[in-house]
Amino acid sequence: MAIQKSSSIRNLLQSLRAASFSSMIANDHRFTSQAYSSATTKPSGYSDDEDADVNWDKLGFGLTQTDYMYVMSCCKDQSFLKGQLCRYANIELSPSAGVLNYGQGVYEGMKANRTQDGRILLFRADQNAGRMRHGAERMCMPSPSVDQFIDAVKETVSANKRWIPPPGKGSLYVRPMLLGTGPILGLAPAPEYTFLVYVSPVGYYFKEGTAPLNLYIEEEYVRASPGGAGGVKSITNYAPVMKAIAKAKDRGFSDVLYLDAINKKYLEEVSSCNIFIVKGNVISTPATNGTILEGVTRKSIIEIAKDHGYQVEERPVAVDELVDADEVFCTGTAVGVALVGSITYRNKRTEFRSEGRLVCQQLYSTLVGLQTGRIEDKKGWTLEIN
């Protein structure tokens, strides 16, 4: 009886705490000032139908502040409830927030595209939602349901539709984030969590644009190791690669290709994208085994390649196989499909086919066609935003 009573009191306190935190978020001007609704007072100087003041021809991959973001919160061991749109603004965090002290956070990356006939399409949003839930479980965090995730993304994109580039000029990059925002001193999951979605119009990820990339194979640093968090999109996976990227770029390379942590002989992935090699009719890519992120673009390209009649192998790919490859390319939400012109390993540069009829261009054309509505989507991959 005493145990039941104690459990009931604990559950009641948790419910009250969650309600209090949700109320704080709902009433805090840092999160909800001028929340987007029919009653919202729009900022002066533009209407929601007015085009954004952006030079679309010079759009790179950088942050452009847009109008609205989405915020949803909950407490530990609770479920997320309905969130809301608010004006894009800074947020306040406790110095002891779990995400600041222990890196308890995951994020996603996806794109919305405008079609030639004016529709707005999302691409495989359910896959990003599922991947966030998988990452949240690994990082001991509650996560939005798939429906909550997709609804939040749709609302955010719709509210910022004037920032979606014209067809052929770029995409609206969508960044959903799940953060441990509650204060915590000891090493443990944060008591409170915030789910955010913000957007920014973007162009090409690499400064080379569509030009072939020149990659450098890193041997001193590794991106991930077995048993770690390399297979989820944790925020902790990205800062550690910055040193290797800086070293490579100082030497004139586009990015870094990492090897496995144990044998230092198998390809893993590039800093922010997956890697594929082509030999004849066979396309090979490193198998996702816990150290490699299961990219949504990677998954899509594999299926598209099979549809085009290519044999696709997901397996360990030895670095020595590069010398015999006809073609190499990278895939990712930010990069799309990027051709690799050369890879340098132990001061030896290997060049790959970068002209003529290229496999990656064929696959990329199909991918972009689906994403932008030029090709009929018979797979159910796209989601139209009204």
pLDDT at 43: 40
pLDDT at 49: 60
Residue ranges of E strands in 192-291: 192-202, 213-218, 255-259, 267-270, 274-279, 282-285
pLDDT at 47: 55
pLDDT at 204: 86
| Geometric angle at alpha carbon 295, from 201 and 215, rounded to 5° | 80
What's the pLDDT tens digit per position in 336-359?
999 999 999 999 999 999 999 999
The H or E element that residue 175 is part of is: strand 171-180
| Geometric angle at alpha carbon 135, from 110 and 306, rounded to 5° | 55
194 has which bridge partners?
A: 73, 179
The H or E element that residue 17 is part of is: helix 2-27
pLDDT at 48: 61
- Return d(Cα 61, Cα 335) in angstroms, integer: 10
Query: SS3 breakdown of the chain: % helix, strand, coil, rounded to 5?
Result: 30, 25, 45
Residues in the chain with pLDDT < 70? 1-49, 209
| pTM exceeds 0.95 | no
pLDDT at 206: 80
Selecting among 111, 154, 161, 233, the annotated active-site residue is: 233
Q: In this structure, are residues 370 and 382 in contact, taking their beta carbons and an 8 Å threshold? A: yes
- Return d(Cα 185, Cα 76) in angstroms, integer: 15
pLDDT at 210: 75
CA pseudo-torsion sign 173, 371, 82, 102: negative
Q: How many residues does the chain have?
A: 386
Residue ranges of E strands in 244-315: 255-259, 267-270, 274-279, 282-285, 311-314
- Return d(Cα 124, Cα 126) in angstroms, integer: 5
Active site residue 169: no
- Return d(Cα 293, Cα 283) in angstroms, integer: 18
Q: In Å, what is the CA distance from 202 to each residue of 55, 141, 150, 163?
A: 11, 30, 21, 10
- Return d(Cα 159, Cα 42) in angstroms, integer: 12
- Return d(Cα 200, Cα 221) in angstroms, integer: 31
Kindly write down the DSSP assignment for every residue of 72-140, as one continuous string.
Answer: EEEETTS-----EEEE-------TTBHHHHH--EEE--EEEEE-TTS-EEEESHHHHHHHHHHHHHHTT
What's the pLDDT tens digit per position in 253-281?
999 999 999 999 999 999 989 999 999 99
What's the pLDDT tens digit per position in 56-81?
988 989 999 999 999 999 999 999 99
pLDDT at 211: 87
Cα-Cα-Cα-Cα torsion 338, 367, 278, 234, nearest 10 degrees, comes to 60
Instruction: Please state, as a whole number, how many other Cβ atoms lie within 10 Å of the Cβ of residue 68.
Output: 25
